[in-house]
Amino acid sequence: MRELLGVGAIAMAFGILASFASEEPGWFALANFGVGTAALVLGALLALLRARHAGAPAFRAPLAAGVARVALALLAGVALERALAWADVRLDWSFERKFEPAPATLGVLDDLCEKGAVEAVLFRDDFDPRKRSTRILLETLAARSCLAFQERRLGDAPGEEERYGVGTSNTVIVRHLADGRPETIELVERPTEGTLYETFSLLAQREGGVLWVARGAGEGDLESGGPNGYSGLAAALATEGYALRQFVSPATTEIPDEVAAVLWIAPERAIPEEALGALDRYLRRGGRLVAWLEPGAPSGLEDLLARWGIEPASGVVVDPASAAIGGCVPGLCPLVYAYATSHPIARGLDPTRMTFFRGARTFRLRKPEIEDRLEQVALASPRSWIAPDASVLERGIPPERPPEETGDYHALVVAGRYVRDGREARIAAFGDSQLASNHDLRALFNLDLVVNAVHWATAREPAITLRPKVAVSGRMQFPIPIQNTFTRFQSLGLLLPELLLIAGALVWVRTRSA
Amino acid sequence: MTAFRALLKKELATLFASPLAYLALTLVMLVTALIFFDHLRIYNQILFLYASSQMGGFESDTIPDHINVRDSVFFPVLETLGITLIALIPVITMRVFAEERARGTDELLLTLQLSPGQIVLAKFTVTFGFVLLMMAGSFVYPAMATVEGGIGAEHLLAVFVGLSLHALGLASLGLACSAFSSSQLVAAVASWAVGFVLWDFAWAGAFVGEGFGRFLDAVSMHPRYGSFAEGVVRLEHIAYFAGLALVAAALARLSFDWRRVAG
């Protein structure tokens, strides 16, 4: 009997091993499963025959009680597990609470749910470890919204895979069945909360209004996909429901009232007076402007902003509190030290959620009218000072701080609200444009600060929130200093086991000599 | 109660009088430290490779997603240690009941005013305590290294909670196997077999339908403790391992009756 059970167990183990290795049932695995099952069944029968006298009345009662205890334990275990699975009690101890959906994600899902049913299908391979994370994420979203979540093993539904273009494991198809509209489908190949959020946003087709983006005076290019381009910003704004229209500033004499906001990204040359006049009139009629200015590049926009109480200072902010991050010269790429957390643009941001500027100028605020409200939204550290010559950015050497400079907070982002003839104009100004470029937009929390500013300018405050990260968050990719780790490895990782092994050896010697 | 306490003391003394306990502790701590340090070293090297090349730094999306502490360090530690435990835990549990049975001292225990339930409880308590001590010991170095790296040990704690539950689940299976055998070798081999089969039914996915596949997934240990690697502690997974321990204890208790019947 024992021999049979042994042979059965070994054959089954090799069958499983072969299946694991080849990820499919080959002849070797099948043969082993056949032999193993036969041996185990035969062994079990022999064991039962051996214990046939268990049916005797004297043995029946204690055995029955024992079996009942096992059944009860099994039942209790399953019931408890099922009850807790139903209650879905979970603690999220992951880095930056990866499985706590951002309000932005839940908000866009609510929008989708209001319009119709939402379904997510995860196509995965049995052996793909990434499915675990995606499954938890989709289960969490399903528990918090109308999202219906299903899983399909890759290869089980070839027709469906062909139709949706599913090629790899860990791919999610999101379907939206809106009332009275044809089904819309999006494919997500690297599902994170961020990519799912962007997919939901596309399906939701939220309307944020038309944004006019200036061109013609060397501004940032929304169509350029290079590191210094702004295609990422364009895509992010489209995701948020904005329609972007580019306008050539030298040919513009009027900006229509229907424009939700004008975006002016780092003009390098002088903007024609007519265009600036059109912008000024647009603002006086309750228009909205988001401007990104680069140090040392006068364009005429500075004078217009100054008339609205936002005076861009010349020179560059040098912040000794900011280290050499992202290839920057130390001090020249300030990290935001403090936010005006009461202001909607900074909603959800705090000193641990940093934003990063690559060479910035600052602003001085002076109210044009007593009722106007001007605020500093993001500030460099109190150690920051202004280097008057903007060419320090090109020299790549940290400038020396003059002895008379004591340092002070310097505004990197400011915002103003102005009521003119009963209509409210809004202006948000950034002291740098690089933070919105493809290179830096998704660094740290830059995207949130930038998109929040556009939402605020267009009076879409409810849409202001932190966005889930598309890629793995930054802290997960920070290095752990190997030198310190090596010291710990020697003292704790090696010394403790060594001492234990010595103790074991002593015990062994004593046992043998006893 | 005095007899129960005496049995606890005796079990502890037996455990630590054997070099096997020290060897098991050493092995788990050493293997954890080596795997963790090795993966950390490779992870840091890759990070610095990216940071020092044209990529520009840590702040932007220049480092591929899959190079992060979770995927490059925590997952491999969890997977390797999980398999190591399948091999190691039966070595600890094999003697607990089988040795008494082989020497005939189990009959002696029953004459000391101890019920079979109390004997099972004492042996499970001591074994579980030892397994937890082993897991806690192996957690010390990775926790110190992670905290020192400024990441915080919360996620790592979730990984070790999962691993500890996995170890306790394996210990439960091992104790149940030991209870039904008088040979330590048979008990160990049976524990390895059961532990290996219950570890992950992903291999069976190709043979069965989607529905049954989900059931098999639900009874497997690997998907259960694997979810802890994501940093998510779900109470139903804790209940799964508690249920496993409960059933194993009931089976161990049944072995006393079974022995009376089958001899």
Condensed to tens digits (0 to 9), the pLDDT of residues B16-27 reads 888 888 888 999
Q: Which amino acid is at A160?
A: E
Tell me what the mean pLDDT of segment A229-252 comes to: 92
A183 & A275 share domain: no
A313 & A420 share domain: yes
Which of B58, B206, B256 lies at the smallest CB-CB distance from A478? Answer: B58
Question: Is position A476 within any domain?
Answer: no
A449 & A358 share domain: yes
Least confident of A48-52, B109-113, B173-177, B203-207: B203-207
Question: Is position A474 within any domain?
Answer: no
The share of chain A scoring above pLDDT 70, in percent, equals 92
Question: Is position B217 within any domain?
Answer: yes
Question: Is position A178 within any domain?
Answer: yes
Which of A163, A184, A202 delimits the end of a domain?
A202
Q: Which amino acid is at A342?
A: S
| Chain centre distance of CA A49 | 62
Question: Is position B41 within any domain?
Answer: no
| pLDDT band at residue B1 using 50, 70 and 90 as cut-offs | low
Pairing mode, strands A338-339 and A373-379: antiparallel
* A vs B: CB pairs below 8 A: 283
Residue A467 CB-half CA count within 13 A: 29
| Token pair listed for A277 | 């006049």
In the predicted model, is pLDDT for residue A62 greater than 90?
no
> What whole-number distance in Å separates Cα of residue B221 and Cα of residue B238?
11
> What whole-number distance in Å separates Cα of residue B184 and Cα of residue B189?
9
> What whole-number distance in Å separates Cα of residue B195 and Cα of residue B83?
10
Q: What is the pLDDT of residue A189?
A: 87
Tell me what the mean pLDDT of segment A126-139 comes to: 84
- Give the tens place of pLDDT for each residue, A390-425: 888 887 777 888 888 888 999 999 999 999 989 999
Which of A183, A202, A221 delimits the end of a domain?
A202
Question: Is position B42 within any domain?
Answer: no
A351 & A404 share domain: yes
How far does B3 lie from chain A, in Å, by closest CA?
A: 23
How far does A262 lie from chain B, in Å, by closest CA?
A: 27
Q: What is the pLDDT of residue B121?
A: 93
In the predicted model, is pLDDT for residue A370 greater than 80?
yes
- Give the tens place of pLDDT for each residue, A417-441: 999 989 999 999 999 999 999 988 8
In the predicted model, is pLDDT for residue A23 greater than 70?
no
A163 & A145 share domain: yes
- In the DSSP assignment, the letter for residue A54 is G
Question: Is position B245 within any domain?
Answer: yes
Question: Is position A427 within any domain?
Answer: yes
Average pLDDT, chain A: 86
Question: Is position B47 within any domain?
Answer: no
- 8 Å CB contact between B120 and B128: no
CATH number for position A142? 3.40.30.10
Q: What is the pLDDT of residue A291?
A: 97
Q: Do A504 and B236 touch (CB under 8 A)?
A: no
Q: What is the separation, in whole angstroms, between the first and last Cα of chain A? A: 39
**Rounded to 5 degrees, what angle do the CA atoms B251, B252, B255 make?**
90
Q: What is the pLDDT of residue A36?
A: 87
A281 & A164 share domain: no
Q: Do A507 and B197 touch (CB under 8 A)?
A: no
| pLDDT band at residue B65 using 50, 70 and 90 as cut-offs | low
The total number of structural domains that make up chain B: 1
Q: What is the pLDDT of residue B176?
A: 93
| pLDDT band at residue A380 using 50, 70 and 90 as cut-offs | very high
Q: Do B247 and A70 touch (CB under 8 A)?
A: yes
Give the Cβ contact number of residue B156 at 10 Å: 24
The total number of structural domains that make up chain A: 4
Question: Is position B45 within any domain?
Answer: no
Question: Is position A218 within any domain?
Answer: yes
> What whole-number distance in Å separates Cα of residue A270 and Cα of residue A96?
44
A227 & A292 share domain: yes
Which of A155, A172, A202 delimits the end of a domain?
A202
A142 & A181 share domain: yes
- Give the tens place of pLDDT for each residue, A159-215: 888 888 888 888 999 999 887 777 889 899 888 888 898 899 888 887 889 999 999
Dump strand ranges (E) for A380-436: 385-387, 411-420, 423-430
A117 & A40 share domain: no
β-sheet bridge partners, residue A120: A149, A174
Mutate to test the interface with A, among B235, B240, B244, B253 (most CBs of A within 10 A): B235
- 8 Å CB contact between B175 and B97: yes
In SS3 terms, chain B reads as CHHHHHHHHHHHHHHHHCHHHHHHHHHHHHHHHHHHHHHHHHHHHHHHHHHHCCCCCCCCCCCCCCCCHHHHHHHHHHHHHHHHHHHHHHHHHHHHHHHHHHHCHHHHHHCCCCCHHHHHHHHHHHHHHHHHHHHHHHHHHHHHHHHHCCCCCHHHHHHHHHHHHHHHHHHHHHHHHHHCCCCHHHHHHHHHHHHHHHHCCHHHHHCCCHHHHHHHHHHCCHHHHHHHHHCEEEHHHHHHHHHHHHHHHHHHHHHHHHHHHHC
Average pLDDT, chain B: 83
Q: What is the pLDDT of residue B57?
A: 45
- Give the tens place of pLDDT for each residue, B122-169: 999 999 999 999 999 888 888 887 777 666 678 888 988 999 999 999
B 60-89 residues with CB < 8 A to A: 60-61, 63, 65, 67-70, 75
Owning domain of residue B244? 2-36+67-262
Q: What is the pLDDT of residue A353?
A: 80
Q: What is the pLDDT of residue A472?
A: 54
Q: What is the pLDDT of residue B63?
A: 63
Give the Cβ contact number of residue B54 at 10 Å: 7
Question: Is position B59 within any domain?
Answer: no
Mutate to test the interface with B, among A7, A12, A70, A357 (most CBs of B within 10 A): A70
Choice between B247 and B101, residue whose per-residue pLDDT is larger: B247
Choice between A144 and A17, residue whose per-residue pLDDT is larger: A144
Owning domain of residue A126? 96-202
Q: For chain A, say whether B107 makes contact (Cβ under 8 Å).
A: no
| Token pair listed for A455 | 């939402």
Residues of A in contact with B238 (CB under 8 A): 84
In the predicted model, is pLDDT for residue B56 greater than 50?
no
In the predicted model, is pLDDT for residue B58 greater than 50?
no
Question: Is position A475 within any domain?
Answer: no
Give the Cβ contact number of residue B136 at 10 Å: 13
> What whole-number distance in Å separates Cα of residue A32 and Cα of residue A10?
9
| pLDDT band at residue B250 using 50, 70 and 90 as cut-offs | very high
A409 & A296 share domain: yes
Question: Is position A64 within any domain?
Answer: yes
The share of chain B scoring above pLDDT 70, in percent, equals 86
A456 & A397 share domain: yes
Question: Is position A152 within any domain?
Answer: yes
- 8 Å CB contact between A435 and A356: yes
